[in-house]
Chain A
Amino acid sequence: MTPDIHPLVILFAAIFTSNILLTNFLGICSFVALSKRLDVSFGMGTAVTFVSTATAALNWLIHSHFLRPGALSWLLGDRATGISLEIFSVIVYIAVIAAFVQVVEMTMERFFKALYQALGIFLPLITVNCAILGVSLFLTVRHYSFLQAVAYGFGSGVGYTLAIVLMAALRRRLRYSNIPAPLQGIGITMIVTGIMAMAFMAFNGMVAVQ
Chain B
Amino acid sequence: MGLRIIKRAIWHENPIFHQMLGVCSALAVTTRVENALIMSLAVTVVSMGTGAMVSLFKGLIPRKARLMVEMIFIATFVILFDQLLKAYYFSMSKQLGPYVGLIITNCIILGRAEAFAIKNRVGPSILDGLGNGIGYGMILLTVAIFRELLGAGTLMGHRLMPAGYEPARAILLAPGAFLIMGVIIWIVRGIQLGRARRSS
Question: In the complex, A141→B95 CA distance in Å?
Answer: 12
A1 at the interface (CB under 8 A from B): no
B24 contacts A28, CB within 8 Å? yes
Is B182 a contact of A191 with CB atoms below 8 Å?
Answer: yes
- B172: CB under 8 A from chain A? no
Task: Say if the beta carbon of A62 comes within 8 Å of chain B.
Answer: no
Distance, CA A186 to CA B139, complexed state (A): 15
Give the distance to chain A from B29, nearest Cβ to Cβ, in Å.
9
Contact of A194 among B21, B25, B179 (CB under 8 A): B179
Contact partners of B22 in chain A: CB under 8 A: 29
Q: How far is the CB of A201 from chain B (nearest CB, A)?
A: 7
Residue of A nearest to B25 (CB): A130
Contacts of B178 in A (CB 8 A): 190-191, 193-194, 197
Partner of A90, one of B78, B182, B193: B78
Number of A-B contacts defined by CB within 8 Å:
124
Q: Given A29-B24, A187-B185, A141 and B97 touching (CB < 8 A)? A: yes
Is A45 an interface residue, CB under 8 A from the partner? no
Which of A94, A187, A195 gathers most chain B CB within 10 Å? Answer: A187
* Most central of A22, A25, A183, A195 by chain B CB within 10 Å: A25
| Chain A 191-206 interface mask (CB, 8 Å, partner B; 1/0) | 1011101100100000
Report, as a range, how many residues of chain A touch the other chain: 35 or more
Q: A36-44, A53-61, A132-140, A153-161: which one contacts chain B?
A: A132-140
B10 vs chain A, min Cβ distance (A): 18
Chain B contacts for A193, CB-based, 8 A? 178, 182
User: Of B33-41, B99-107, B160-168, which stretch is located at the interface?
Assistant: B99-107
Assembled-state Cα–Cα distance A137/B102 (Å): 8
Cα distance A129–B181 in the bound complex, in angstroms: 20
Q: A25-B28, A191-B182 are in contact. Are A33 and B98 (CB under 8 A)?
A: no
Give the distance to chain B from A98, nearest Cβ to Cβ, in Å: 8
Main secondary structure of the interface of A (DSSP, over half): helix
Q: How far is the CB of B70 from chain A (nearest CB, A)?
A: 11
A182 and B190 within 8 A (CB) = yes
Interface check A181, CB cutoff 8 A: yes
* Docked-complex contact A191 and B179, CB < 8 angstroms: yes
- Interface, chain B (partner A; CB < 8 A): 17, 19-28, 71-72, 75-76, 78-79, 82-83, 97-98, 101-102, 104-107, 110, 173-179, 181-183, 185-187, 189-190, 192-193
Q: Mark A residues whose CB is within 8 Å of B.
A: 22-29, 32-33, 87-91, 94, 98, 128-130, 133-134, 137-138, 140-141, 180-183, 186-191, 193-195, 197-198, 201
> 5 A-B contacts, Cβ less than 8 Å apart?
A32-B20, A91-B76, A186-B20, A187-B189, A190-B185
Please name 5 further chain A to chain B contacts, defined as beta carbons within 8 Å, in addition to the given A130-B105, A183-B182, A197-B175, sorted by A numbering. Answer: A25-B174, A25-B177, A90-B79, A129-B105, A181-B189
